[in-house]
Structure 1
Amino acid sequence: MTLPQDITRLQSEMRSAVHEHWKAFLIEGILLAVLGLAAMIAPLIASLAFTIFLGWMFLISGAAGLAMTFWARQMPGFWWSLLSAVLAIGAGLILLTRPAQGVLTLTIVIGAYFLAEGVATIMYALEHRRELSERWTWMLFSGVLDILISAMIITGLPGSAEWAIGLLVGINLLFGGASLIGVALAARKT
């Protein structure tokens, strides 16, 4: 069980470590923000780069999974592990050999995700509007926004595949970088 003084000590050590390395956070934040802006300026290139990166991740994780499956073949679930590894390798190879089709497929998946997330968020907001008091309207707005983004992506297919992934990755990188810059500048002062 963690005691309050342990929590206070850990928080103090964390603040000290962030203060000590604030320049590293600043450099990383600037790098992420620049990459985010670049992805937003050239979303098709960013989409292809992301698809190729994802292809390599599937391929590497599938190969590692395949090696581990055969190394521990006496363990229960051998055939499921083998199937999972082979599927990951197959997905990686497809994304690497056909990145343009991979971008289209990933765009469809992202559109479906935003639709499902929007509906789930709206239903959650409506179901918990008493407990969430005034915050439920923000959740409702977020759900509607997710559905609008989904509609833009899905109705714009196949053309939206040229910009959707790159733009969304760019926005994520930009905001992540801005957050790190904010953390670094705040840590510098303390």
Structure 2
Amino acid sequence: MSKVDDINTEIQHMQQQMLVYLQTHWRLFLAEGIFFIILGLLAIVVPQFFTVAIVVFLGWILLFGGIVHVSRAFVFQNMPGFVWWLFMGILQVLVGFLFITKPVAGALTLTMLMTMFFALEGIAKISVALMMRPLANWGLILFSGITALVFALIIWISWSESAQWLLGLFLGVNMVFLGWSLVKISLHHKVQ
């Protein structure tokens, strides 16, 4: 057997495993799809709130995580790397505090990070879709991946003007597409 035949055999085996998993756990995929549709619709309806909520929530996580880092650093002052542990903690406290007190500036930063997220997620979804091919509805995951890449491009182009609402809106639309894809796939693979 050639290397190409080995790869094709491996892909077919992976597709068969995916088919069995989808048939066995179709209810879980259906519930997940419905959850993402609801969450996505909420983000579309109030994108500014969703954007600010993400920034503030992340700010609190960073703030508390930073406090833990700083506290541990002072408890173990003789530990190698004390300065680095302290630096990481102080950095987390500062960024968390800024996200909480200045969520609009935090939204600008997170919007740029979301651009990278959408780009990487799009690549991952397209890869998964190509692995699922020729299973039914694999094109929906492909469409969701292409949509994520388009979102990344649009956000990158209009970053500073629309960061306060675009992040929540696109994240919501992305969640709706993912949820819709999962619902369609789960219902198709529902075992009678």
Q: What's the secondary structure of 1:75's corresponding residue? A: coil
- Of 30-39 and 68-77, more deviation after overlay is shown by 68-77
The answer to whether the aligner puts 1:161 opposite 2:167 as a matched pair is no
Q: CA deviation at 1:12?
A: 5.6
Q: CA deviation at 1:30?
A: 0.7
Q: Say how many residue pairs are matched.
A: 153
Q: CA deviation at 1:52?
A: 1.4
Give the counterpart letter for 2:38 in structure 1: V
> Within 2, Cα distance between the matches of 1:100 and 1:68?
31
How high is the sequence identity, in percent, across the aligned residues?
A: 34
**C-alpha RMSD over aligned residues:** 3.9
State the partner residue of 1:137: none
Give the counterpart letter for 1:92 in structure 2: G
Q: What's the secondary structure of 2:80's corresponding residue? A: coil
Q: CA deviation at 1:102?
A: 2.4
Q: CA deviation at 1:186?
A: 4.4
Q: CA 1:185/1:149 → structure 2, altered by over 3 Å: closer, same or farther?
A: same
Q: CA deviation at 1:79?
A: 0.7
Give the counterpart letter for 1:153 in structure 2: W
> Within 1, Cα distance between the matches of 2:171 and 2:35?
14
State the partner residue of 2:68: 64
| 1:90-146 CA distance string (max 9 Å, x none) | 211221223233224434x359859xx7xxx9xxxxxxxxxxxxxxxxxxxx98985
Q: CA 1:175/1:75 → structure 2, altered by over 3 Å: closer, same or farther?
A: farther
Q: CA deviation at 1:166?
A: 0.7
TM-score normalised per structure 2:
0.60
The answer to whether the aligner puts 1:23 opposite 2:27 as a matched pair is yes
Q: Extract unaligned runs of 5+ from structure 2.
A: 1-12, 124-147
| 1:47-103 CA distance string (max 9 Å, x none) | 111111211221232233334434554432211111111111121122122323322
Q: Extract unaligned runs of 5+ from structure 1.
A: 1-7, 122-141
